[in-house]
């Protein structure tokens, strides 16, 4: 059975504004799980890959954009656990960037498809691999019950009690898994999601589609900064200050936005003094490679 020795400590961090408000913030360092299969990428892949093994599948097929951390994690996991890997890459033409180069170095085959064709992922899979009995399809971003199951396991690792748990949301899988585990354990912690896309209220449906009986997590919809992988000067300034103050690297697509949201909520007295917050660092630091020119020093 495939597995990693998980190293994901709980590290308390502090910024001056947080200290003034008497709010404690701890970061769950899932970015330290693995250099490439990091954070929630590993958690969402784990049970998918175990299911592929159980079914005696040897070929993993998945989907993602040109800078997808999920694709890189899948490629590395394939090489590590001896799966062939193929990815459908969203885009109008073949592109080259450091993330896709690393995917190919790990042995992943890339199939570039235009954005219209990409919308029907089931058709893409069936047209190319429907007759391939060795293939196993993992949805984009690892969305699904198997992915959520892996994310739920994060709560088993916690060494402290928290009043609030925050995570960035792309597909809603990580949020769903954590909310499900918190509900099952009857934790007092309130679970929060920060969608990183515009009109992020759809995340609630994604969570409900996975677990219909789950109480609604709290969504904070105003921190997408213009949409997926979009940034603002204030977000970039916050990220620069956070990294320089804490020594912990974050990126602008996911963890940067959730910490930016937490910082803003603290400053606006959203929490009760002495509250202890857990923020999940979901890894994916290679996303910085496509954004380095946005930072001004």
Whether the pTM exceeds 0.85: the reply is yes
With respect to residue 2, please indicate whether it lies within any of the assigned structural domains: no
CA distance 223 to 258: 8
Q: Is residue 160 domain-shared with residue 281, that is, in the same domain?
A: yes
Q: Among 115, 142, 169, where does a domain finish?
A: 142
What is the share, in percent, of the chain residues with pLDDT greater than 70? 100
| Band of pLDDT at residue 2, cut at 50, 70 and 90 | confident
pLDDT at 95: 84
Give 187's Cβ-side CA count (13 Å radius): 21
pLDDT category of residue 45 using cuts at 50, 70 and 90: very high
pLDDT score, position 5? 79
Residues 228 and 255 in one domain: yes
Residues 29 and 163 reside in one and the same domain = yes
Full residue range of the structural domain in which residue 229 is found: 10-35+148-294
Residues 6+ away with beta carbon under 8 Å from 233: none
Q: Is the pLDDT of residue 94 over 90?
A: no
pLDDT at 297 over 90: no
Confidence at 93, pLDDT banded by 50, 70, 90:
confident
Q: How far is C-alpha 196 from the geometric centre of its chain's CA atoms? A: 10
The single residue listed with the structure tokens 């800078």 is 67
pLDDT at 92 over 90: no
Are 191 and 289 members of one domain? yes
Q: Are residues 27 and 106 located together in one domain of the fold?
A: no
* Residue 5 included in any domain: no
pLDDT (average), residues 70-91: 97
CATH number of the domain residue 45 falls in:
3.40.50.1100
Domain assignment of residue 1, yes or no: no
Q: For residue range 133-178, what is the model confidence (pLDDT) as tens digits? A: 999 999 999 999 999 999 999 999 999 999 999 999 999 999 999 9
**Which residue would you say has higher pLDDT here, 2 or 58?**
58
Measured between alpha carbons, how far is 84 from 79 in angstroms, rounded to an integer?
7
Distance of alpha carbon 2 from the chain centroid: 21
């Amino acid at each position: 059975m495939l597995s990693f020795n998980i190293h994901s400590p709980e590290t308390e961090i502090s910024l001056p504004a947080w200290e003034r408000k008497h709010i404690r913030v701890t970061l769950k360092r899932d970015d330290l799980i693995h250099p490439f299969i990091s954070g929630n990428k590993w958690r969402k892949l784990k049970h998918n890959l175990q299911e592929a093994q159980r079914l005696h599948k040897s070929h993993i097929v998945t989907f993602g954009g040109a800078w997808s951390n999920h694709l890189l994690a899948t490629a590395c996991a394939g090489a590590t656990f001896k799966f062939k890997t193929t990815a459908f890459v969203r885009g109008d033409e073949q592109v080259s960037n450091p993330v896709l180069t690393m995917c190919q170095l790990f042995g992943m085959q890339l199939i570039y498809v235009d954005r219209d064709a990409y919308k029907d992922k089931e058709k893409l899979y069936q047209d190319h691999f429907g007759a391939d009995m060795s293939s196993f399809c993992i949805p984009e971003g690892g969305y699904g019950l198997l992915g959520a199951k892996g994310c739920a396991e994060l709560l088993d690792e916690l060494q402290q009690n928290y009043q609030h748990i925050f995570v960035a949301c792309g597909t809603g899988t990580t949020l769903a898994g954590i909310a499900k585990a918190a509900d099952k354990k009857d934790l007092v912690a309130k679970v929060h999601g920060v969608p990183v896309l515009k009109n992020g209220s759809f995340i609630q449906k994604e969570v409900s589609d996975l677990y219909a009986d789950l109480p609604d997590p709290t969504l904070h919809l105003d921190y997408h900064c213009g949409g997926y992988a979009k940034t603002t000067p204030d977000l970039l300034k916050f990220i620069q200050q956070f990294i320089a103050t804490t020594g912990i690297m974050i990126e602008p697509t996911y963890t940067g936005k959730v910490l930016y949201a937490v910082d803003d909520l603290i400053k606006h007295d959203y929490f009760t003094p002495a509250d202890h917050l857990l923020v999940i660092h979901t890894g994916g630091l290679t996303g910085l490679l496509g954004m380095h020119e946005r930072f001004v020093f």
